[in-house]
Structure 1
């Protein structure tokens, strides 16, 4: 997420989530975009057909995994930005 030091950098962020039923599972893609960049997260779930869960259970789990993937990438990018300034390895969790 490397960026110029500007207060305007993250004034407007957008998250777009798409969900697709594929084979016996659900795929979700979450796209976080801002003026000069984006992060894309992927999530997938496969439920056992014998469980008879409502359809939204698989969709919700795939979406949660896609958003979690974005969060992991955002943590990593933020740590990298800090490390580039401090020269030291950091953990941002």
Structure 2
């Protein structure tokens, strides 16, 4: 009977050690995943900032194109006899 209790304690100790090792591995994996998530969040944040810059840049370019088109249209409406190269030359000034 005493031997059975001792065997049970030994087996319980082995199981406790195995569970502690598994817990350590899980905690390490959790730490690594937390680091990966933090890096991904930083990457997403940086990409968001880049998207804002690209959007602003595209809006500025679009505005310049609109102004050029308006210039071309206004010259075409005023003097329809102008040639295309003439209009382009005038719109660059």
Q: TM-score, normalised by structure 2?
A: 0.37
Structure with the higher helix share, 1 or 2: 2
Q: TM-score, normalised by structure 1?
A: 0.37
Q: Which has the higher contact order (CA 8 A, sep 6+)?
A: 1
Structure with the higher strand share, 1 or 2: 1
**Is the radius of gyration larger for structure 1 or structure 2?**
2
